[in-house]
């Protein structure tokens, strides 16, 4: 790992970002530490008790090229296949910095991905943090280092 601590300004960006899963009128947008009725409905409808929002972009908070980020996301997407029973459990999305300092990061909302697996995947792909949603449908920022 190239760094030992996550800078406070990056943690602020993660906490203030909005996270979007899906496309068009079907999209769900949510925020860390805020109850999400659309997420609650999605979990109930899918029969899953948890979900993860994860990316492979910009490992360790260091900006990478669009091409490198897309390759990393493709690798993550392939890895996710090991953990889901149905492809419909994986919903493409993006993490968006409302201040615009960071480009939107391609991400995935993965229904049914437990916390330990989410953390392991985040670490595998060099992420500082992941967002995990339990039965209460409140997205939580989980720092990984």
Residue ranges covered by each domain of the chain: 15-143
Contact (Cβ atoms closer than 8 angstroms) between residue 140 and residue 15:
no
Rounded (to 5) percent helix, strand, coil in the chain: 40, 25, 35
**What pLDDT sits at residue 11?**
94
Average pLDDT across the chain, whole number = 95
pLDDT per residue over 36-95, tens digit each?
A: 999 999 999 999 999 999 999 999 999 999 999 999 999 999 999 999 999 999 999 999
In the three-class reduction of DSSP (H, G, I as helix; E, B as strand; rest coil), residue 33 is classed as coil
Alpha helices in the chain, H assignment, sequence order: 8-16, 37-46, 66-80, 115-124
Whether pLDDT at 2 is above 60: no
Contacts made by residues 66-71, CB under 8 angstroms, sequence distance 24+? 66/103, 69/105, 69/106, 70/106
């Amino acid at each position: 790992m190239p760094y030992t601590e996550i800078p406070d300004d990056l943690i602020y960006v993660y906490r203030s970002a909005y996270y979007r899963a899906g496309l068009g009128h079907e999209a769900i947008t949510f925020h860390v530490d805020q109850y999400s009725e659309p997420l609650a409905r999605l979990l109930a409808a899918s029969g899953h008790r948890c979900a993860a929002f994860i990316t492979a972009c910009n490992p360790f908070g260091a900006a990478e090229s669009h091409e490198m980020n897309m390759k990393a996301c493709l690798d993550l997407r392939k890895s996710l296949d090991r953990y889901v029973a149905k492809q419909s459990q994986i919903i493409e999305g993006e993490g968006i910095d409302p201040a615009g300092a960071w480009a939107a990061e391609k991400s995935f909302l993965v229904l049914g991905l437990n916390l330990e697996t989410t953390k392991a995947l985040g670490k595998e792909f060099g992420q500082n943090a992941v967002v995990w949603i339990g039965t209460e449908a409140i997205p939580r920022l989980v720092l990984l280092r």
